[in-house]
Amino acid sequence: MNNCLKCRALVISLLILNVFQVSVASVVSTGDFNKDFFVMWAPDHVNTSSNGRERSLKLDQVSGSGFASTQMFLFGQIDMQIKLVPGNSAGTVLAYYLASDQPNRDEIDFEFLGNVSGQPYIVQTNIYVDGFDNREERIYLWFDPTEDFHTYSILWNLHQIVFMIDSIPIRLYRNHADKGVAYPRWQPMSIKTSLWNGDSWATRGGLDKIDWSKSPFIASFKNYTIDACVWKGNPRFCRADSSANWWNKRSFSTLTRVQKRWFKWVRKYHMVYDYCQDNQRFQNNLPKECFLPKY
């Protein structure tokens, strides 16, 4: 009888331990840039408020700048409020992305391509899987992103990747791994941001160069949220269907009806470039995912 009680106690203890291990895999960020991020380069070009709640990056002729999360993650959602470089920002690139830092890296990218004053900002999204990208999409923003902060989000789960701006989905990339389409699902990634000189390609294919007389160029960040699975070395905790890993639940496996309407609106009125429509680039051999459903 005592042995049975001990067995039951052991089983319960193991169950509790397993739940605990899964639950600690999910984190809600502190909101303090000093605690959740470190400066990757040019610390003298990174400015953080005294309470750690706001941060800015600077680009001038000396250097760009960037910061990255202290933790790595496998699935979840990140949100960051960003105010883009104002004025004539041609040639500048602000990148906000997830990256695995491996030779065959995975990445999920937002890139904000600077504009000539009066022209709309272009947002480029891209996805790397096992070191290969060529999955660019571009849209014009329907607002001035330099006047105020807007929320830029990435939802990444076992089912799909969703890029969102102020909760409006602007891009989907579905997990069609079962059909032979590459999908980032094994490599943990950190959150990174950087502001740098991309005037060889960023604005009108490199025709518009950076006007250094307008520098320094400043991009600002605040009110970020990280609700993701912290990498602990074992992917099964992040892939588990648990209350902590809410993003993997069936309800997040596709867009809602309202989200689908917004998504179609973005693609109809604001899309500038879609790699899945570029037959010339791919010599009439478009990637397999271009022929598969997005949701």
Catalytic site positions: 107, 111
Question: Parallel, antiparallel, or unpaired for β 92-99 and 107-113?
Answer: antiparallel
CA angle 198/204/205 to nearest 5° reads: 60
Q: Whole-angstrom Cα distance, residue 184 to residue 74?
A: 9
Question: Which H helix or E strand runs over 67?
Answer: strand 65-69
For residue 33, report the phi and psi dihedrals to the nearest 5 degrees. -60, -35
Task: Tell how strand 160-165 and strand 168-174 pair up.
Answer: antiparallel
The residues, ordered by sequence, that sit 6+ positions from 37 with a Cβ below 8 Å of its Cβ are: 55, 67, 68, 69, 70, 191
Residues with Cβ within 8 Å of residue 62, at least 6 apart in sequence = 45
